[in-house]
Amino acid sequence: MSGSSGSGNGGQGAGTGGISIGSMSGGAVAQGGGAQARDEGRRQGGGAPLPAAETPAPAAPTAGGISIGAMSGGAVAQGENARAVDASVTVSPVQADELLTALRTLRRELLAAPESAEADELERELGGVAEEVRREGRADRGRLARLRERLELASLTAGAGAAAAAVVQAIAPLLG
């Protein structure tokens, strides 16, 4: 995390402190009495902070508030007893390519198979994960875990093909 931060007395009382960040790539920030922010994200390449010259200057926060000039991942909590958790998985370009290739292959298999509500739902889920990885370079950890579990169960019950196994294999190192 780069940038600056400042706080009054830990968020105790009205009109105290604030946090201003010039760039953030992961991490956790909390502001306010009893506020908690936790970073449980996994970063495996990628997610580097913006170079200082490219980092926009953040606006000054209001009293007790948070102002962020750029952010890629992480968690922010603001207010009394606020809580935020970042549990995303940031993937390296190589891992992203492997996962996206496996997702595309499985989606093609599903589209070629006879229609079913379950296959349609799985195809939408695969598309959502692919879009998230393409757009953000990361995927929600819970979403990946649910997809892996679903594909593992499908392979046990319905004899899912190699494409499903490839997706499971691409997800495994991301979840650790």
The residue ranking higher by pLDDT, 10 or 94, is: 94
Q: Based on the structure, what is the number of domains in the chain?
A: 2
Residue 103 and residue 29 share a domain: no
| Residue 158: per-residue pLDDT | 58
**Structure confidence by residue, pLDDT tens digits, 144-170:** 999 999 998 876 555 568 889 999 999
Quote the mean pLDDT of the chain. 77
Whether residues 124 and 171 share a domain: the answer is: yes
Residues 81 and 30 in one domain: yes
- Claim to verify: residue 119 and residue 158 sit in the same structural domain: yes
Per-residue buried b or exposed e for 32-47, using 16+ beta carbons within 10 Å of the residue's own CB: beebebebebbbeebb
* pLDDT on residue 157: 57
Report whether pLDDT(52) > 60: no
What range defines the domain where residue 65 resides? 19-86
When pLDDT is cut at 50, 70 and 90, the band that residue 105 belongs to is: very high
Q: Which of 73, 77, 82, 100 is nearest to 19 (CA)?
A: 77
Higher pLDDT, 138 or 26: 138
Confidence at 13, pLDDT banded by 50, 70, 90: very low
Between these two residues, 112 and 154, which has the higher pLDDT value? 112
Please give the model's pTM, rounded to 2 decimal places. Answer: 0.60
pLDDT at 7: 34
Q: Model confidence at 3, in pLDDT bands (50, 70, 90)? A: very low
Q: Got the DSSP string for 77-131?
A: EESTT-EEEE-EEE--HHHHHHHHHHHHHHHHHHHHSPP-HHHHHHHHHHHHHHH
What is the reported pLDDT for 159? Answer: 52
- Together in a domain, 117 and 171: yes
In a domain, 76, yes or no: yes
Tokens of 1: 């995390």
**Residue whose pair of structure tokens reads 């298999």 in the numeric block:** 109
Q: Do 68 and 123 belong to one domain?
A: no
Going across the sheet that includes 138-140, the strands are: 42-43, 88-90, 138-140
